[in-house]
Amino acid sequence: MLAALVLPGRGFAQDTLPDGPVYVVQEGDTLWSVAVQFGISLNELTTYNQINNPDTVGIGTRLVIPGLAGVSGELKTEEVAFGEDLLSLSRKYRVSEIDLARLNHLTSPAELFVGRSLILPVQENVELPGDRSGLAEGQTALELAVLKGRNPWEIALLNELPGPIKAIPGDVLRLPGTSLSGPVGLPGEIEDLQLTPTPLVQGKAAVLQLKGSQGLAVAVSLLDDSFEFVGSENGSYYAILGVHAMTDPGLYPLAIKGTLANGAGFSFSQSIYIRSGGYPMDPVLVVSPETVDPAVTRPEDAQWTALAQPVTLQKQWQDLFVAPVPKEFAECWPSQYGNRRSYNGSPYSYFHTGLDFCGGVGTEIYAPAAGTVVFAGPLTVRGNATMIDHGWGVYSGYMHQSEIEVSVGDQVEVGQLIGLVGNTGRVTGPHLHFEIWAGGVQVDPMDWLEQVFP
């Protein structure tokens, strides 16, 4: 009863609906989930709507939500996009910030994180104003209005400002116009901002695509890392974000900052959830002590990590990355990315930084995509190792090889022979340890074999 599933196709009409805003039941909803979403009890919801039999409720059923005096009309749920804040949503949906907060039980702006499901009033026949414009340092809304040939009081009214001189620098104001689109919390020069996936996931790469006018200088930061935007031919800029596998799940600020072609600065920050990657714990691994001696591992880790930091502007890969081993081994993985590890009984502070492929000593290794070799040589822990730069901050790494068939500076093509599988370095047997680096950290290589990054 508590989690009674709402089945499709059972829409029914209540005879007399009580007063209050209406939520129309969607696919996947249950009476329970609707009650939770609106912060009321299941009993309140069913009693208020005179529901005696939950089976009579289905997709399309109109439920009146109690306890929201002053709010009327139809409500819907929508995920908060990157670029929105309470003020911008308030302006977009023509509902006061106070009512938005009340509808969603918000107690702090930090709760408005990217990907959060939000209850919003459905807008019908409301012309949503179009242009967004940033206020330069020292510029007032009054000056902006004059500059844009607008009535300053119209702008004040539209943006719920007490008066045309009450806006503050860095504020993004809406101007009367056509339909509204794009990230409302950012200046109109930024036409579109798409982050995938949301929420972010430990150990996964994410792509932030920004469509905007020429002459934008933009940087994005998450945690202590900043990610560069790289341009492309079609008017889009891309930043590839890497989320470290050991980042604690939780809310983190994702910030975007930049300068418009006219020199006006802007910045925007919004929380985003990083969820667990669900990586399992491996049994304690026993290895020879010198291969986990910090005196050996630290300098080597630093050297290896430094190789993958530069962002070269030419994107060299096309389409999917291909498996770096012959067909018969392409889906043979003795160990996958992300597993939590303990060496010789240490705390589980290590993780498996790549995807291991089967293969005996001498099995061929191929480049998974075109790129430039930035490292080829012997290392203590990694054995004979190679690293390839694929551009845009994306690198691939190969360890424990018996032979290396390329040299630093070589340009390689997808499918080219680059080395042979071996058992050099910290290993218990021959295999290929294959890494993908994105945004300066190791990410799950499997994603790159299964989905196309831009």
Amino acid at 226: S
Q: Which residue's Cβ has the minimum distance to Zn ion?
A: 433
Quote the least distance from Cβ 384 to Zn ion, whole Å: 14
What's the CA gap between 249 and 275, in Å, rounded? 5
Give the residue among 84, 93, 130, 136 at the shortest CA–CA distance from 111: 84
Element (H, E) at 306: helix 294-307
For the residues of 269-333, what is the DSSP string, one character each? Answer: EEEEEEE---PPBPPPB---GGGG-HHHHHHHHHHHHHHT----SS----SSPPPSS-GGGTT--
Number of residues that bind Zn ion (CB under 5 A): 3
Give least dist CB 379 to Zn ion, A: 14
Instruction: From 87-95, 217-225, 409-417, 428-436, give the range in contact with Zn ion by CB under 5 A.
Output: 428-436
Determine the interface stretch with Zn ion among 249-257, 323-331, 390-398, 429-437 (rule: CB under 5 A).
429-437
Q: Which helix (H) or strand (E) holds 365?
A: strand 364-366
- Residues numbered 29 to 88 that lie near Zn ion (CB under 5 A) are none
Q: Which is nearer to Zn ion, 66 or 354 (CB)?
A: 354
Instruction: With CA atoms as reference, report the closest residue to 321 among 367, 386, 372.
Output: 367
Closest contact distance (angstroms) between CB of 383 and Zn ion is 11
Shortest distance, CB of residue 299 to Zn ion, whole angstroms? 20
Query: What mask of x and - would describe binding to Zn ion in positions 350 to 379, judged by CB under 5 A?
Result: ----x-x-----------------------
**Residue 317 Cβ vs Zn ion, minimum distance, rounded to whole Å:** 22
Only one of the segments 62-70, 273-281, 337-345, 433-441 lies at the binding site for Zn ion (rule: CB under 5 A); that segment is 433-441
- Least distance between Zn ion and beta carbon 193 (Å): 36
Residue from 49, 112, 433, 441 that binds Zn ion (CB under 5 A)? 433
- Check binding of 389 to Zn ion (CB under 5 A): no
In the bound state with Zn ion, the residue whose beta carbon lies nearer, of 61 and 396, is: 396
Q: Which stretch binds Zn ion (CB under 5 A): 4-12, 18-26, 240-248, 431-439?
A: 431-439
Interface stretch with Zn ion, choices 11-19, 131-139, 225-233, 426-434 (CB under 5 A): 426-434
* Other CB atoms within 10 A of residue 340 CB: 16
Q: Which is nearer to Zn ion, 159 or 386 (CB)?
A: 386
Helix H, strand E, coil C: the string for 147-203 is HHCCCHHHHHHHCCCCCCCCCCCCCEEECCCCCCCCCCCCCCCEEEEEEECCCEECC
- Residue closer to Zn ion by CB (options 181, 344) is 344
Q: Decide: helix, strand or coil at residue 127.
A: coil
- 196: closest CA among 185, 188, 183, 206? 206
Q: Which two tokens stand for residue 31?
A: 């009476």
d(CA 99, CA 97): 5
**Cβ-based neighbours of 47, under 8 Å, separated by 6 or more:** none
Give Cα 178 to chain centroid, integer Å: 29
Backbone angles phi, psi at 394, to 5 degrees: -110, 130
Binding mask 174-213 for Zn ion (x = CB under 5 A): ----------------------------------------
* CB 352 to Zn ion: min, Å: 6
Pairing of the two strands 200-201 and 265-275:
parallel
Give me the amino acid identity at 287. Answer: V
Please identify, using beta-carbon distances, which residue of 16 and 288 lies nearer to Zn ion.
288
Least Cβ distance, residue 307 to Zn ion (angstroms): 17
What's the closest the beta carbon of residue 341 comes to Zn ion, in angstroms?
10
Q: Smaller CB distance to Zn ion: residue 142 or 361?
A: 361
CB of 357 to Zn ion, least distance (A): 9
Closest Cα partner for 220 from 264, 261, 190, 263?
190
Start-to-end CA distance of the chain, whole Å, equals 46
Binding site for Zn ion (CB under 5 A): 354, 356, 433
